[in-house]
A and B are shown apart, each in its own frame.
Chain A
Amino acid sequence: MEPTFYGLLVFLIIGSIVALEMKDILSSVIAVGVVGLALSILFLLLGAPDIAITQVVVEIIVVTVLIRAAARSGRVEMTRRPDLVSTVLGLILVLCFCGFALAALETLRPFGGARPLVGHWYLVNAEAGTGCANAVMAILLDFRGYDTLGEATVILTAILGAVVLLRPKAREEEAEPAVVPGVPAEVAHE
């Protein structure tokens, strides 16, 4: 597992850099899709099939939407000159982040090792307490139902907001020039 795992990690980093640096937005979207699929294989190797499935499925629908949107907007060329100040600032930020992350990782328990008290209780009591053979579902929908309710509310609000803002009627209202009373529309438009 180890060489595959680290190979995929390096592949993820390279893919992300490619996605960031591509000039063509369609190629960038495809690179993002490749990164997402590699990430799902990583989750599978780490023993989290639930998250792997979610990752793969969400990645597919997001990439479909993005490709469709990119195809609609035509060939958008990203032209951005590298700026010395922002590059230096970015490097400093990356170094700071890596330092903090290393310091934080040292306090973590070893991967797959002893579980915290609550997590262990959930794992032991999942089947008896809820009847779910799948412990992930037992936690999501029963023990931590409140979290899922909040999640559902967030998705509902986000989707309704997007639909309200992007529906054709709203676009037409935005596209039409404002009508000034007493002035013919052509004159006002000129």
Chain B
Amino acid sequence: MNDGPGMSLIVRMVSRWLLGFVFVYGLGVALFGHLTPGGGFVGGVVVACALVMSILAFGGKQGPGAFLARAVTTLDAAGALMFLALALFGYVAGCFFTNWIARGEPATFGSTWFVILMNVAILVKVGAGAFAGFLAIVAFGHILDAEEGRP
């Protein structure tokens, strides 16, 4: 049943249907982290789970996982730097880590853009980081070996 890269046809079909949902769920958990349980870390790990599923199902050459695999370390660093930049911009309002962006109505989505942006930074950072960890531990040896014909 192992025709082509990745897993069997059934697994690839089911992952194709599920991938988008898992991805959007991760984004939603991260974006609404300031209102509901969840947040950037959890959302990032869910997004990383979607990418891991893509890599496991489609192999290392197709799918969103393979597309993002080349940029993981860059994204990881970009997320961390975005977090640091948001903290540094606090100096605009006086000191490090000040909640400096204007706030909206309480308990609505736009109630605090600062925390939303922080969550997005952590989402990028943790998503790329967890995915990079998976790639380092599993995929670099396993999938790349298989594609280059090594045993």
User: Any chain A CB within 8 A of the CB of B65?
Assistant: no
**Chain B 99-113, CB within 8 Å of chain A: the 1/0 string?**
100011011000110
> B: which residues have CB within 8 A of A?
29, 33-42, 45-46, 48-49, 52, 56, 72-73, 76-77, 79-80, 83-84, 87, 97, 99, 103-104, 106-107, 111-112, 114-115, 118-119, 122, 125-126, 129-130, 132-138, 140-142, 144
Q: Which of A54, A149, A159 contacts B133 (CB 8 A)?
A: A159
Complex Cα spacing A149 to B88, Å: 11
Q: Is the CB of A130 within 8 A of B99?
A: yes
Q: Which residues of A contact B136 (CB under 8 A)?
A: 159, 162-163, 165-167
Taken together as a complex, chains A and B put the C-alpha atoms of A141 and B39 apart, in Å, by 10
User: Nearest chain-A residue to B83 (Cβ)?
Assistant: A152
CB distance from B136 to the nearest CB of A (A): 4
Q: In the complex the two chains form, what is the Cα distance from A69 to B138 in whole Å?
A: 6
Interface flag for A138 (CB, 8 Å): yes
Contacts of B52 in A (CB 8 A): 61, 64-65
Interface size class of A (residues with CB under 8 A): 35 or more
With A163-B135, A168-B144 known as contacts, the answer to whether A149 contacts B84 (CB < 8 A) is yes
User: Is B107 a contact of A133 with CB atoms below 8 Å?
Assistant: yes
Is A149's CB under 8 angstroms from B83's CB? yes
Binding site secondary structure of chain B: helix
Kindly identify, within residues 9 to 32 of chain A, every residue whose CB is under 8 Å from any CB belonging to chain B.
none
Interface residue A125 (Cβ < 8 Å from any Cβ of B): no
Cα distance, A155 to B122, chains bound together (Å) = 11
Taking a contact as CB atoms under 8 Å apart, the answer to whether B34 and A65 are in contact is: no
Check if B34 sits within 8 Å of A134, measured CB to CB.
yes
Give every chain A residue within 8 A of B129 (Cβ-Cβ). 155-156, 159
B102: nearest residue on chain A (CB-CB)?
Answer: A131
